[in-house]
Amino acid sequence: MTLTVGTNWSANHAYRAQRIEAPSSVEEVQRLVTGASAVRALGTRHSFNPIADSADLLLSTANLDFAPHIQEHGRLVTVGAGIRYGELASELQRNGWALSNLASLPHISVGGAIVTGTHGSGNGVRSLAASVAALEIVTASGDILQLRRGDADFDGAVVSLGALGIVTRVALDIQPTFEIAQTVFERLPFDAAISNFDALTGAAYSVSLFTTWQNPDVIDQVWLKRRPEADAPAPANLFGAVPAPQDRHPLPGISAVNCTAQKGVPGAWLDRLPHFRLDFTPSNGEELQSEFLVPREHATAALAAVRDLAGTISPLLQVCEVRTLAADSLWLSSAFETDAVGLHFTWFRKQPEVEAILPELEAALAPFHARPHWGKVFTGDRASLERVYPRLDDFRALAARLDPNHVFVNEFLAQKILPA
């Protein structure tokens, strides 16, 4: 199927590829890859930079959404890379199973989220990529490469940035279904957040902090997502923050009608772990996003550094979200060998202005070994990435072995990490 090339989610990048195809079988992927001089996989277009672009062919994974195959004995589900998390979650729930976590939006594709290191939140929960137990990749030669957890190349191939080939299928860890109760608290004093950061982020299975930095002395909202059977009840007072009297949207002044249910009412994991409901289609073109992840040990110092820039960033900022995630062993994961804290910035779609202040923000976070999210807007260069990703040379060697002719190397990757 031939599609219109078009733009990404935010319409801040117009794809430069000559053509786009949407194969529905692995065999068709093999044929298209072997006939292209340059090719990149395209998921749900939720990257805010040119990481998914190609000089020749864009290969949409939208039709690679093969029906989930659940292996109860091994606690695994095998899916096509193009399936969206919300659709997968619904199928798992119908069969009594769950994923350990979800991103804030359930509308993104499994393949795209994995290869860019996307994550949810929770002190004890790892990134979405860390739940991958096996994956199938069509390489530049058209061959099918299958890797399983424990294989020599596996840890380098999961968060791959699309540089190794087209991911067509993945197997993910699953667990029995569970419930989440979500409570939103308001007006957390910043000093209390810093002083009690570990207890704050450990107060529930998944915790997110939201603030606009308009008032640098206050964190506007804290979203607690509790497992009622395992976590303590939601407190009446959370280090000075109080429960919101009604459902809230992360952005001030926006209706919460499209947000997942709050006020401590328990519900299925898939209806509470994301911030937004699956049946709500998020608006496109209204935002840019950046995210920088720091080792857990530097979290409070990094937050203080961002607070010092409140006057610079707040005029361009819709909201800042702070999330946590557990360490993993994936070479290009932002949580590689360290528990991490993500500082996420949703900007107004003012690209020149945002790009003008990012170097100052990135410089402020550099002493804390901040790693940028691969699918967001950042300005860091090769040298800065080499300082924070110790296995980058190993990844380059893996990419050179699997793609010696640089079929999957686009301009973004050539500038940031790989040879052109």
Q: What is the DSSP string of 162-204?
A: T-S-EEEEEEEE-EE--EEEEEEEEEEEHHHHHHTHHHHHTSS
Amino acid identity at 411: E
Phi, psi of 35 (to 5 degrees): -100, 5
Query: Which of 158, 177, 196 is the C-terminal boundary of a domain?
Result: 177
Residues 84 and 154 occupy one common structural domain: yes
Tens digit of each residue's pLDDT (9 = 90 or more) over 302-347? 999 999 999 999 999 999 999 999 999 999 999 999 999 999 999 9
Locate 206 and state its tokens: 């998944």
Q: Is residue 32 in a domain? A: no
Q: Are 299 and 197 in contact (CB under 8 A)?
A: yes
Locate 2 and state its tokens: 């031939």
Q: Are 101 and 125 in contact (CB under 8 A)?
A: yes
What is the rounded CA–CA span in Å between residue 30 and residue 389? 31
Output the CA–CA distances (angstroms, integers) from residue 254 to 3, 182, 209, 413, in the order listed: 34, 18, 17, 37
Name the stretches of the chain with pLDDT < 50: none
Q: How many domains does the chain have?
A: 2
Q: Are 330 and 129 in contact (CB under 8 A)?
A: yes
27 C-beta neighbours (distance < 10 Å), count: 12
Q: 243: domain CATH number?
A: 3.30.70.2520
Residues 172 and 190 occupy one common structural domain: no
pLDDT at res. 282: 65
Output the CA–CA distances (angstroms, integers) from residue 241 to 111, 183, 187, 251, in the order listed: 38, 12, 5, 17
Residues 93 and 242 occupy one common structural domain: no
pLDDT at res. 419: 80
Residues 161 and 119 occupy one common structural domain: yes
Residues 223 and 358 occupy one common structural domain: yes
For the four alpha carbons of 74, 109, 286 and 14, in that order, the dihedral sign comes to: positive
Q: Is residue 388 in a domain? A: no
Query: What's the maximum distance between 2 C-alpha atoms anywhere in the chain?
Result: 62
- Give the range of the structural domain holding residue 374, as residue numbers without chain letter: 180-380
Residue 345: beta bridge partners? Answer: 290, 320
Tens digit of each residue's pLDDT (9 = 90 or more) over 346-384? 999 999 999 999 999 999 999 999 999 999 999 999 999
What is the rounded CA–CA span in Å between residue 228 and residue 121? 17
Residues 75 and 110 occupy one common structural domain: yes
Q: Which of 127, 143, 141, 44 is nearest to 331 (CA)?
A: 127
SS3 breakdown of the chain: % helix, strand, coil, rounded to 5? Answer: 25, 25, 45
Tokens 């300005």, located at residue: 379
pLDDT at res. 104: 85
Locate 155 and state its tokens: 């840890």
What is the rounded CA–CA span in Å between residue 173 and residue 149? 11
Query: Which of 162, 177, 192 is the C-terminal boundary of a domain?
Result: 177
Cβ-proximal residues to 82 (8 Å cutoff; 6+ apart), any chain: 43, 60, 61, 62, 63, 64, 65, 109, 110, 111
Q: 119: domain CATH number?
A: 3.30.465.10
Q: Is residue 40 in a domain? A: no
Can you spell out the DSSP letters for 244-306?
Answer: -SS---SSTT---TTBPP-TT-EEEGGGTSSSB-TTS---SSSEEEEEEEEEGGGHHHHHHHH
Residues 253 and 358 occupy one common structural domain: yes
Cβ-proximal residues to 186 (8 Å cutoff; 6+ apart), any chain: 220, 221, 222, 241, 242, 243, 244, 248
pLDDT at res. 184: 98
Residues 85 and 186 occupy one common structural domain: no
pTM > 0.75: yes or no: yes
Q: Is residue 17 in a domain? A: no
